[in-house]
Structure 1
Amino acid sequence: MTGRGAMGRGGGGRVRTGAKVWVHVGLPKCGSTTVQRYFAAHAEQYRAQGLCYPATGRSTGGYRSHEPMARMAPADLPALVAAIASEAAGCDRILLSCEDFANALPLGNGAALVAELNRVFGADQVRVLAYFRNVHDFVASCYAQFVMGGLFKINAGRFFQGAGDDPAATNLAAFVAAFEALKGFPLYSLRGHADQIARHFPDNAVVLKSIERMDIGEGGLIGDICRTLGVDVLEVPPAQNTRVSNLLLAAAVSARRQVSTEAFRRLRPHLARMVNGPKWAARAGFDRADLHVDAALHARITATVGAERATLAARFATGTDGLAEDRWTPATGQDVLTRAEEAQIRRLIARHAAPAPAPG
């Protein structure tokens, strides 16, 4: 079938319902969690306005994103998209949101999902939406996220356990180098991220936007995406903290150098409780320069931003001054974890992150 006729759940034809599909492939640390929680919380109200934020393929807890789609085998995508089309009956807009579609590029199944959406709804009805944040904030937040939970499919085991005794092998600068070695462009190149997204969705309109208030105006990210989707703003969510404390970050780096990625997942909540507890309270002002962007990296970021300004301004659907604003503050702190603190981390590892005993 080549027309706009109906399609059953297992059908191979095209559904032409008139619905426009927005696929939010949010970059990490660029407000995706805020978007996902917001539209999940107001899914029924927005359905009344003609927008479907599908429960199909969406996680039932946590951020309420469509991350399960990013884990699906390509063979399962046709049935998934058919189910989305069925759930969205009566709506003229559909929003799907998952940062892993951008996080995993050039891997992952984001391109396969959009190809299936194109087949079912028509490529002219499917748009890819990506938000970006200030490049200086982005780099620092990405490193913190990588330490605490992994990011960009960089192999954390090799990064941390392969570091040997050199502390510089696991600092922010080393993470930036690992990203470029894997992806082929610098972490701080917003044009590189934009090109990668556009390259993987060649048949679709790709809409690039800033989340910075000076670029998108009143209402911030939620206001802008609601305007984009043509729906009312129902509330303005409070601002979210985007980076863990320097003390927790230093403790997490220490722990990750000692345990596997799987073991660190078990350890992480216990580590956070310990570091945020009263015994460590006196260290709240902990700071260490190598957890931040140093002068050499700042110079490279500044040069790249300058070279890309004109291109970004031409390609983005919002302003870009906020993306490029230099928010760097030199970090000079030289704090290190004490022997006693390192010993506490080792005891915590022994209690909560030791490998589980073999069955039998």
Structure 2
Amino acid sequence: MADVYLHIGLNKTGTSSIQDFFFLNIEAMAQEGICYPRAGLDGAAHHALSYWLGTPEPDRNFEQSPMVLAMRKEIAGASKVVISSEDLHTHGARGARILKRLFAGHQVKVVFYVREHLSYLASWYQQNVQASHLSCSFDTFCHLTRKPLHTLADAWTESMGRENMFLRLYDRKALTGGDVLLDFVRIVGVPGDLERFQRKRYENNPSVTGNLLFIKRLLNNLLDKATASNMVNETTELAKLKPEFLGAMQVDAPLVAYVAGMYKGDRKVLLDRYGVEIPERSGAMAGSLFPDFATLREDYDLILDTAAARDYDIAKAMRMITLGDLSYLNGKH
């Protein structure tokens, strides 16, 4: 029976790089006895499998479920199986029990990448502002999405066993070769270098920041989710206009200290229980100002003019708001 590797997240830990790699190389991997099943795929990841976990179907006629039948048929004969969706970790103990039953008879191993809390929350926030209609401030987001990482890991450990949990820190200093993909394939046991496989040569989910992200956040107050979400590719392209529109966002020292204190207990449990040491962050987190009022008007004009010239929907939305006298805000920052 095959060893099954469940890559369950977190989001914002290089998951797309891993998924694109295995999806691009389904046939090449199969020749080496590694199955990246087409069953359960939605795009390059097994998001359809994750969606199925959240439905009542697994609790009903499990053995006759089309997902179960298709998955078991496809992985038969493989020496190793890789399943990947960053959404899997959200299903907790119930999801773990269902997947253990789905892969009964196989040795199931869970790979879970965790990340320093502030950088994780900031990256998650940036993506949600860019790709949805999220409009709250970052400090509010940190409060609303409090997510002790050890509780997520514990839910899977309960079903799969501590010996089958691979908890890894998403940090270049901790990853094999400083690369999450290389780190993951070494856990799976893909032999040799990766040159024989296809690999995307660009970043899958670049982080938008600065005044571009701030303008999108303003617009999110006026747009429904579908309309706001459809602007994700436009904002990705507009981020190329200035270096300050790409990368991390600046977070001031008081909020950094607040988040570090909020997750102090989580860091201790992760170290004691799983051997994962997350350094405590202190001082301000470097990045682009969000917003930068000194250049907001200039950046607004640049974004609007470029978006209008390209007939982007975001230009139509931006015309709904007008920047007035910013001297009060400039004086406050």
TM range (shorter): 0.7 to 0.9
Instruction: Report whether the alignment pairs 1:311 with 2:269.
Output: yes
Q: 1:247 aligns with which of 192, 196, 211?
A: 211
**Closer, same or farther in 2 for the Cα pair 1:304/1:349, shift >3 Å?**
closer
TM-score (norm 2): 0.73
Q: 1:32 aligns with which of 15, 20, 38?
A: 15
Query: How many pairs does the alignment contain?
Result: 294
Instruction: Report whether the alignment pairs 1:175 with 2:141.
Output: yes
Instruction: Report whether the alignment pairs 1:234 with 2:194.
Output: yes
Instruction: Report whether the alignment pairs 1:202 with 2:185.
Output: no
Equivalents in 1 of 2:262, 2:201: separation in Å?
32
**How many Å apart are 1:244 and its aligned residue?**
1.3
**How many Å apart are 1:310 and its aligned residue?**
4.2
The amino acid across from 1:329 in the alignment is: M
The within-5 A match list for 1:164-313 is 170-179=136-145, 186-187=146-147, 192-199=148-155, 202-205=158-161, 206-218=165-177, 220-232=179-191, 233-235=193-195, 240=203, 242-273=206-237, 275-276=238-239, 281=241, 285=244, 292-304=250-262, 307-313=265-271
**Closer, same or farther in 2 for the Cα pair 1:276/1:292, shift >3 Å?**
closer
The amino acid across from 1:133 in the alignment is: R
Instruction: Report whether the alignment pairs 1:320 with 2:277.
Output: yes
**Closer, same or farther in 2 for the Cα pair 1:229/1:74, shift >3 Å?**
farther
The amino acid across from 1:98 in the alignment is: S
Which ranges of structure 2 fall in alignment gaps of 5 or more residues?
A: 319-333
Mean Cα deviation higher: 36-45 or 111-120? 111-120
Where 1:38 maps in the other structure, the secondary structure is helix
Partner of 1:127: 109
Identity level (%): 23
Equivalents in 2 of 1:228, 1:340: separation in Å?
45
Which ranges of structure 1 fall in alignment gaps of 5 or more residues?
A: 1-17, 151-155, 161-169, 180-185, 354-360
Equivalents in 2 of 1:45, 1:331: separation in Å?
40
Q: Deviations over 1:34-63 (max 9, x none)?
A: 110111122222222222110111124xxx
**How many Å apart are 1:242 and its aligned residue?**
4.2
TM-score (norm 1): 0.68
Mean Cα deviation higher: 343-352 or 244-253? 343-352
The amino acid across from 1:116 in the alignment is: I
The within-5 A match list for 1:58-207 is 58-60=41-43, 64-72=44-52, 73-75=55-57, 78-102=65-89, 105=90, 108=91, 112-122=94-104, 125-150=107-132, 160=135, 170-179=136-145, 186-187=146-147, 192-199=148-155, 202-205=158-161, 206-207=165-166
Q: Deviations over 1:84-120 (max 9, x none)?
A: 1211121122111111123xx3xx5x65554333224
**Closer, same or farther in 2 for the Cα pair 1:286/1:266, shift >3 Å?**
closer
The amino acid across from 1:82 in the alignment is: L
**Closer, same or farther in 2 for the Cα pair 1:199/1:299, shift >3 Å?**
same
**How many Å apart are 1:196 and its aligned residue?**
2.3
The amino acid across from 1:140 in the alignment is: A
